[in-house]
Amino acid sequence: LLNESFKPGEHNFLPFLKRASRRGVGAFLHWARGGSRVDLVRARAALDLEMPLYLSHASPGMFGSKSGDKAAEGVVFPASWITAAHLLPESHPAKMDLKVFRNEYLKTYKSPPGETAAAAVDALRILAWSARGVGANRARIPAGVEGARYFTGLNGTYGFSKNDHNGLDTNSLVLVRVRKGKWELVKKR
């Protein structure tokens, strides 16, 4: 096990990967935000390492599902339903909503929707659903939201409580691997 940290704004990950390779590390987990993920992927390719690379959440723009970026080959990361909608099976509980939303968004904005757009739609739908349950009383709406259970949205399944205002469960992300320049779902074992 090798535990490394880096400074914000770090772009040179060659030393980190060289140390990991010398120590025989079997996989590299990089949990961060921003461009450091792309820099790490490029550094791994520059060193021609076969070491599996697991990243924190990535957006389609980072390793586009059709980018063909050879450096990203084999990289694994979690993705939200909206960003991986094209990979989800027809039996997925949100597949129809995702298709409709994605198509309408593409027609209107000429680019695929991201998580922020899906989060806005989910928030409005949860708010409307909660208001139906508690009425238009502003003081009761927060309790209505906190009572939302198993609400299927575009970004995932929500289940709020007084202690959980994020609401998304672990099944609201799917694992994606870049293979031959395209995204594929990582199958559950």
Could you read off the pLDDT of 154-188 as tens digits, one per residue?
A: 999 999 998 988 899 888 999 999 998 889 999 87
Hunting for tokens 């599996």 — which residue is that? Answer: 52
Q: Which CATH architecture has domain 14-80+173-185?
A: 3-Layer(aba) Sandwich (3.40)
CATH architecture of 95-170: 3-Layer(aba) Sandwich (3.40)
Q: What value, to the nearest 5°, has the Cα angle with vertex 112 and ends 35 and 185?
A: 70
* Domain ranges, ordered by start, for the chain: 14-80+173-185, 95-170
Sign of the alpha-carbon torsion through 84, 38, 78, 161: negative
The predicted-structure confidence for 122-163, as pLDDT tens digits, reads as follows 999 999 998 887 888 888 988 889 988 889 999 999 999 989
Round to whole Å and give the CA distance between 77 and 156: 16
